[in-house]
Structure 1
């Protein structure tokens, strides 16, 4: 089963972040799923109560990660990376910085005239 990464395809930060990841070398197939798409898996996760405006999601094996946990697991499993990936590898730092990243994302989308996913 491929790792599934659900992200906001209209968010420049989210798109750039998933573009920086080098996961295939470590985890095998990776599928990027735009949370704004009509993919039935997105609807299924929403029905389970997942809010994509609160953060991206990652399904890896039988686990589902959301928000800071999702960014942290991606950072841990990525090959080499820059400052952001190194910063987010720590659970404590990820929990601390993720709300700021989410706020910046929401502000940027508002300035760009893009609506929330939900």
Structure 2
């Protein structure tokens, strides 16, 4: 799904934006990011879900073909954004307050910048997991027909 999808900017039928972020709770960078980004101030309630704990949303993401080892996922009003698209969308949703949020908005509010930077961020995550002796998520994905 494209980050320019106008549907994702609208609230659901109840008038609320529904926001969930699924991230790797075993990754110190991922955990720090979701703690620091100020979404609640901008969009209201945000569900933060550690993919290592599993659950229906983790299953939904895997069934949609997204690999959580390749990037975190934002679910905004029913639309899934993965990896660089997630980071780009979060840059637009967070508040402009605080140095961290202003820096993230500056760096990742342009889709091309998020697309270029994301592989390096993912490599940093993978290295940190390896150095800490932690495994990747390895969440079962639906089998592709042969």
Q: TM-score, normalised by structure 2?
A: 0.76
Misfit runs of 4+, over 6 Å: none
CA distance in 1, matches of 2:46, 2:53: 17
Return the match for 1:111 from 110, 113, 131: 131
Tell me, what secondary structure is at the counterpart of 1:36? helix
Return the match for 1:71 from 87, 93, 99: 87
Larger radius of gyration: 2
The runs of 5 or more residues in structure 1 that have no matched partner are none
The runs of 5 or more residues in structure 2 that have no matched partner are 1-16, 139-146
The residue that corresponds to 2:11 in the other structure is none
Residues 1-118 of structure 1 correspond to what in structure 2 (within 5 A)? 2-80=18-96, 81-118=101-138
CA distance in 2, matches of 1:114, 1:41: 23
Tell me, what secondary structure is at the counterpart of 2:32? helix
Tell me, what secondary structure is at the counterpart of 2:53? coil
* Cα RMSD for the two superposed structures: 1.3
Number of aligned residue pairs: give it.
118
